Amino acid sequence: MFDTRKDRREIILFGYGKLGHRVYEMLSTYFTKITVVEQTEALTQDAKDHGIVKSFTADFKHDQELIDLGLEDKILFCAMDEMAMNIFLVLSLKSMTENATIISISTSAENTRKLKFIGADKVIDIYEASANRIVDIITRPAVTRVLDEIIFVDNGISLEEIEIPPNSFLEGKYVHDIDFKAMDLILVGITDKEMGDDFIFVSRGIDHKFDAGDILVLLGESHALEAFYKKLTKGNG
């Protein structure tokens, strides 16, 4: 991820138990502004012992204690070990925020359905995700290898989304006008504003016109992505 965007939003991680602890480890490799909130003093202390300065104890049943954390415009990540608590927390957070993004961990299809129903923006079913990975390793080993290199391995290759700023060199041009390969990039797809924010895979073959606000999903090496990003934002100062 570009450093410029790395710290763009703050994350509040609810839970520092078995699950929350591991989620924090992964999040902290990409983001720095993470606050940990726990229900029990012992786990908050555990977080502090692991060097997390911004770790607090709050009673999730008391709305005011949650509101006091300053939830608006933040990423609220629910990773409590108890699924019932995650569901309760998502419901509480949804009722007291408007612009926050709520992510929750789920452990079954049933919980996923409930979490989506009460308004979680993204639900990650840890067992389903793990199972998908196992199945891909067996049935599509080469694809898994490539995706691993993109997602898991720190080799400079990544999948990035870049929003087209106004007055960029892309504006008004069509997909086929731009030789992404010459820039060492692969254009995976576009979220086209004119098409109602639907994601369109480039392999569908429709020649889209680029507009400001469209989001490009690109695959490539960091330096190529960085160069493209600079080129794109050059006209904007």
Query: Restricting to residues 34-73, which ones interact with other proteins according to CB under 8 A?
Result: none
Token pair 């007291």 in the structure block, residue: 96
Q: If binding is defined by CB under 8 A, does position 16 make contact with other proteins?
A: no
- Within residues 186-215, the interface with other proteins by CB under 8 A covers 186-189, 191, 199, 201-205, 215
Q: What angle do CA 6, 178, 3 make, to 5 degrees?
A: 10
The binder of other proteins chosen from 124, 178, 212, 227 (CB under 8 A): 124
The residue among 107 and 233 lying less far from other proteins, judged by its C-beta, is 107
Nearer to other proteins, 66 or 75 (CB): 75
Strand duo 157-163 + 215-221: pairing: antiparallel
| 212: nearest Cα among 161, 162, 169, 171 | 171
160 lies in the binding site for other proteins (CB under 8 A): yes
61, 110, 127, 167: residue in contact with other proteins (rule CB under 8 A): 127
Q: Checking DSSP bridges between strand 55-57 and strand 75-78, what pairing results, if any?
A: unpaired
CB 199 within 8 A of CB 191: yes
Q: Is 101 in the site for other proteins (CB under 8 A)?
A: yes
Contacting other proteins (CB under 8 A), which of 93, 100, 170, 217?
217
Q: Which of 102, 220, 228, 232 binds other proteins (CB under 8 A)?
A: 220
14 backbone dihedrals φ, ψ, rounded to 5°: -95, 115
Indicate the SS3 state at residue 11. strand
